[in-house]
Chains A and B, each alone.
Chain A
């Protein structure tokens, strides 16, 4: 079946620190992989995506590389800002339009 496992939070970092949020997946077929972000009081927003192995998705300084050999899609950012404080969800989709989400990781960046 399809499932997504991401690191449990919460994660607290100082501004300008390096961020990694781990995400691994199990899927039938060849999934597309996504990271969504939810800022306080708002809906989930697509942050980045990758549709095939070795693709790198990037947006707003965040990056994630689709690693088929390790079934991973870890989210990274070199220097976080206070405005990056949010909940981050890893997700996958195979074929049909159903998205399978991880449990979410809350990130708090302190000045």
Chain B
């Protein structure tokens, strides 16, 4: 399967700043990547689907101006949390849709964001 990395693995920032999280597919060209968010003791929630070269598709209730997604190449998608607030503190996980299509997703290790 595909190897997916995320950077940084954890980040602490001040309220009001913006944070960029990178998701890289190291050995696979990914036309589709997904961004998830996980709160403590809660399920992973899909935030958006990122398609290379086009705008991301956001799930209901996710602010697209708050969570900016850029999928500029087949190996890189970025999530920028703009003007972060403490309630944005969470675990953010990306995944890559595999060659098998929609059924297979390969996940990154996640990024833990703490906003003070």
- List B contacts of A97 (CB < 8 A): 32, 49, 97, 101-103
- List A contacts of B44 (CB < 8 A): 89, 99, 101
**Cβ proximity bits A78-97 to B, threshold 8 Å, 1 near / 0 not:** 00000000000100010011
Cβ of B84 under 8 Å from chain A: no
Q: Which residue of B lies closest to A34 (CB)?
A: B103
Picked from B43, B46, B93, B97, the residue with its CB within 8 Å of the CB of A44 is B93
List residues of B (64-116) whose CB comes within 8 Å of A's CBs: 93, 95, 97, 101-110
A98 touches B43 (CB 8 A): no
- List B contacts of A99 (CB < 8 A): 44, 46, 105
How far is it, in angstroms, between the C-alpha of A101 and the C-alpha of B19 when the chains are bound? 26
- List B contacts of A41 (CB < 8 A): 109
List residues of A (28-54) whose CB comes within 8 Å of B's CBs: 32, 36, 38, 41-46, 49
- List A contacts of B97 (CB < 8 A): 97
Cβ of B4 under 8 Å from chain A: yes
A42 touches B109 (CB 8 A): yes
B107 touches A44 (CB 8 A): yes
Give B contacts to A, CB under 8 Å: 1, 4, 32, 41-44, 46, 49, 93, 95, 97, 101-110
- A43-B106, A43-B108 are known contacts; what are 20 more A-B pairs with Cβ within 8 Å? A8-B41, A38-B107, A43-B4, A43-B93, A43-B107, A43-B109, A44-B93, A44-B95, A44-B107, A45-B106, A46-B1, A46-B105, A49-B103, A89-B44, A97-B32, A97-B101, A97-B103, A99-B105, A100-B43, A102-B43
